[in-house]
């Protein structure tokens, strides 16, 4: 009985996926799939009930950081992120090992529960966080509880607005994972990287 008391909605979703009740590609799928909403999706992207606090806390428990990737149907740079950046094994492996990535649609209508408990459509959430470009990656602090009281933009520890070339893209994820944002901005971090 104790085990059932600690089961989260995510565990139920993952259990359904394992039994084939939810359409999640297994780890063998190397290529992103085109979804019904016209976005490419990596098979390892986070399957979520769209509760950001829950997603961030689950990532933390797994020893990972939480990020949101904002996309738009037909966005050429979103497609390039999938077919160029995520296609590199070093990038793909690093992100899968160290991050949970939630994909959201900048004009989407799915309901998302923000860190402050507000339930908004994806489109409203993008406006709240002033996400204007795709792809945009938002990176958040390690724990959800302190974020509730902060202004939306102050909840992020880093943001990548727009396409980044593969090496810079990987550096952004390392910047967050290494918590380099505590001491410097991303531009300074990049300058300090070996060529």
**What fold, for 44-192?**
Glutaredoxin (3.40.30)
> Roughly how many angstroms between the first and final C-alpha of the chain, as a whole number?
55
- Per-residue DSSP letters for 48-60? --SBHHHHHHHHH
Q: What is the residue extent of each domain of the chain?
A: 44-192
pLDDT band at 93 (very low <50, low <70, confident <90, very high): very high
179-190: pLDDT as tens digits: 999 999 999 999
Q: Which two tokens stand for residue 42?
A: 């990596």
Kindly state the average pLDDT of the residues 72-100.
97
Residue 50 falls in which region: left (phi positive, over 0), alpha (psi -120 to 50) or beta:
left
Please state the pTM of the whole predicted model.
0.84
pLDDT above 90 coverage of the chain, percent: 81
Q: What is the pLDDT of residue 159?
A: 97
Q: Which two tokens stand for residue 150?
A: 């902060």
Beta-carbon contacts of 99 under 8 Å, excluding residues fewer than 6 positions away, are 59, 64, 65, 66, 67, 173, 176, 177
8-37: pLDDT as tens digits: 444 444 444 443 334 333 344 468 999 988
d(CA 139, CA 101): 9
Q: Across all residues in the chain, what is the average pLDDT?
A: 88
């Amino acid at each position: 009985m104790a085990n059932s008391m600690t089961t989260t909605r995510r565990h139920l979703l993952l259990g359904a996926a394992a039994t084939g009740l939810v359409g999640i590609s297994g780890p063998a799928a190397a290529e992103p799939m085109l979804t019904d909403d016209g976005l490419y999706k990596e098979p390892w992207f986070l399957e979520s009930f769209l509760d950001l606090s829950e997603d961030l806390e689950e990532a933390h428990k797994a020893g990972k950081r939480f990020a949101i990737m904002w996309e738009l149907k037909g966005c050429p740079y979103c497609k390039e992120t999938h077919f160029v950046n995520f296609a590199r094994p070093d990038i793909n492996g690093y992100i899968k090992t160290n991050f949970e990535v939630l994909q959201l649609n900048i004009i989407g209508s799915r309901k998302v529960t923000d860190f402050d408990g507000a339930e908004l459509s994806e489109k409203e959430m993008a406006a709240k966080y002033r996400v204007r470009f795709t792809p945009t990656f938002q990176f958040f602090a390690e724990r959800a509880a302190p974020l509730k009281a902060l202004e939306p933009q102050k909840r992020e520890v880093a943001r990548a607005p727009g396409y980044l070339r593969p090496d810079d893209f990987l550096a952004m994820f390392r910047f967050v994972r290494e918590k380099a944002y505590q001491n410097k901005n991303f531009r300074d971090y990049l300058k300090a990287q070996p060529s």
